[in-house]
Amino acid sequence: MKQVIVVGGGAGGMMAAYSAAIHGASVTLLEQNEKLGKKIYITGKGRCNLCNASDDPEVFFQNVRMNQKFMYSAFYQWDNKAVMELFEKAGCPLKTERGDRVFPVSDHSSDVIGALKRLLGRENVKVMLGSRVKEILFDGNDERSFQGIRLDTGELIKGDACIIATGGLSYPSTGSTGDGYRFASEAGHEIVTMSPGLVPLETKEDWPKEVMGLSLKNVSLKMIRGKKTLYDGFGEMMFTHFGVTGPLVLSASGFYDDKKKEEETKLIIDLKPALDQQQLDKRLIREFEANRSKLFKNSLGSLFPSKLIPVMVRLSGIDPEKKCAEIGKQERQRFAELIKALPLKVKGTRDFDEAIITKGGVGIKKINPSTMESRLVHGLFFAGEVMDLDAMTGGFNLQIAWSTGYLAGKSAASTTEDDFNGCKNEQ
């Protein structure tokens, strides 16, 4: 029976431990926190969007932002349907909401963690909490192989295979220390520069502070750099004291490149996406006609939330004290253009403590996508966010964790040295 050690008790680690166990290994799961699944607990504001229910596999691959092809083998071996079936059978009933987002019926992420813990218990996985790994040990030969791990207490645990599932740098309060990158680097793996992903955006303009806390629903948002549209989405967003956040903004942030700050990146908000420019102009004509004797600043209650009105009045350039009957055609049409394209300049992203995921990580060129095994060290595997893989919101990042975790666990339980030697030089 193979002895498999999993480092990290998050989504990828727990799935990897379960998979290794059902494929015949004796499994030890090491977690430095006092409990498993701390990041799962806060995912989706505590509701946990654990995957996406789309029947079309292409939906998953289209939503993987980095290294899509690397995910083919993992996803097709353990796809969204397999994930949903496993959780249902483990006593976590699921429901599907808008955008095919899958949540526990209870809306409690703790039920997802509970299901995983039951699966681990059922398969006799040994869970060691409060156990921080200091180093991963390899033999000294040219063709290295995994030997064991040493905890920071000095305790040595030997094993046949190790799965690094330590997560990224996002939400450091959940224990994301970046240890996995150090372990991978010591094994010879390239580490792709990390940056916050699915993260709120800071704006150069200060006016979002005036409307902080205001949510906009059913709006369109574009992210533009130069003449190139990087992102175009529809949904919900919110203003904050530093800029903007919410589902639309988090999705758009995946396309923001901090390295290209010299090229100005803009957000363009369409406040009335259901109306084209002509229809909106006719709407404004009706509004101004109905409020002929009112001052412009007092006539917009049916168009915008009250918090946003002073901002829109100021940005319009129209005299707030002007009566609606006196507003000219050019002023009205410029106002319609503002409503359809409210601009904000992006200053940058918030930090890792507000990011849902980490972009970058262990480079995938030296990881075998068919097994998740290192091409450099026999018996060393990777799962989840520690790798240079990231996706859009909608359950796709957790799907990466489930799929890579399952494949890494299965492979760790069964892959031989001959398999490793046969694949290590593939690119």
Is pLDDT of 416 > 70?
yes
pLDDT grade for 87, boundaries at 50, 70 and 90:
very high
- Looking at the fold, whether 220 and 341 belong to one and the same domain comes out as yes
CB of 20 within 8 A of CB of 410? yes
Give me the phi and psi of 347, to 5 degrees please.
-90, -30
Rounded mean pLDDT, 407-427: 76
Tell me the C-alpha distance between 387 and 165, whole Å. 9
Q: Which residue has the tokens 């939503």?
A: 63
DSSP state at residue 186: H
Q: How many CB atoms lie within 10 A of CB 230?
A: 16
Confidence (pLDDT) at 3: 97
> 């156990």: which residue's tokens?
131
Q: Note whether 71 and 160 are same-domain residues.
A: yes
Q: Are residues 82 and 125 in the same domain?
A: yes
In whole numbers, what is the pLDDT of the chain averaged over residues? Answer: 94
Helix (H, G, I), strand (E, B) or coil at 9: coil
- 156 and 48 share one domain: yes
Condensed to tens digits (0 to 9), the pLDDT of residues 201-232 reads: 999 999 999 999 999 999 999 999 989 999 99
- Report pLDDT digits (tens) over 289-302: 999 999 999 999 99
Check pLDDT > 70 for residue 420: no
| Total residues found in the chain within this entry | 427
Q: Is 191 in the same domain as 207?
A: no
Whether residue 343 sits in one domain with residue 357: no
**Nearest residue to 70 (alpha-carbon basis) of 362, 379, 395, 350:** 362
Residues 192 and 206 in one domain: no
Of 230, 241, 222, 164, the closest CA to residue 6 belongs to: 164
Q: What is the pLDDT of residues 304-343, one digit of tens each?
A: 999 999 999 999 999 999 999 999 999 999 999 999 999 9
Tell which of 335, 350, 365 closes a domain.
350
Q: Which residue has the tokens 């908000």?
A: 269
Residue 418 pLDDT exceeds 80: no
Tell which phi-psi region holds residue 198, choosing left (phi > 0), alpha (psi between -120 and 50) or beta: left
Q: Domain end: 326, 350, 374, which one?
A: 350
Which residues does 362 contact at the CB level (< 8 Å), separation at least 6?
164, 180, 181, 184, 189, 190, 191, 192, 382, 386, 387, 388
Q: Where are the beta strands (DSSP E) in 188-242?
A: 191-197, 201-203, 215-225, 228-239
Edge-to-edge strands of the sheet including 3-7?
126-129, 26-31, 3-7, 161-164, 380-382, 373-374, 367-368
**Residue 250 in this model has a pLDDT that exceeds 70:** yes
Examine the domain organization and report whether 346 and 358 are in the same domain.
no
Rg (CA), the chain: 25
Give strand pairing partners of 229: 224
CA distance 85 to 78: 11
| Reported confidence tier of residue 369, pLDDT bands at 50, 70, 90 | very high
**How many angstroms separate the Cα of 41 from the Cα of each of 11, 14, 53, 81, 111?**
10, 14, 21, 22, 9
pLDDT in tens, 156-190: 999 999 999 999 988 777 777 889 999 999 999 99
Which of 331, 350, 369 is a domain's end point? Answer: 350
Number of domains in the chain: 2
Q: Could you tell me whether strands 146-151 and 126-129 are parallel, antiparallel, or unpaired per DSSP bridges?
A: unpaired
pLDDT value of residue 423: 62
Instruction: Tell me the backbone φ, ψ of residue 251, rounded to 5 degrees.
Output: -65, -45
The strand pair at 161-164 and 243-245 is best described as unpaired
pLDDT at 177: 80
- Domain co-membership, 241 together with 361: no
What residue spans of 209-308 are helical by DSSP H?
247-253, 277-290
Mean pLDDT of 273-292: 96
What phi, psi does 344 have (nearest 5°)? -140, 140
Element (H, E) at 84: helix 80-89
Which residues on adjacent β-strands are paired with residue 243? 202
Confidence of residue 257 (pLDDT cuts 50, 70, 90): confident
Let me know whether 304 and 360 are in one domain.
no
Residue-number span of the structural domain to which 335 is assigned: 200-350
- Answer yes or no: do 320 and 279 share one domain: yes
- 313 and 225, same structural domain? yes
Domain of residue 32, CATH code: 3.50.50.60
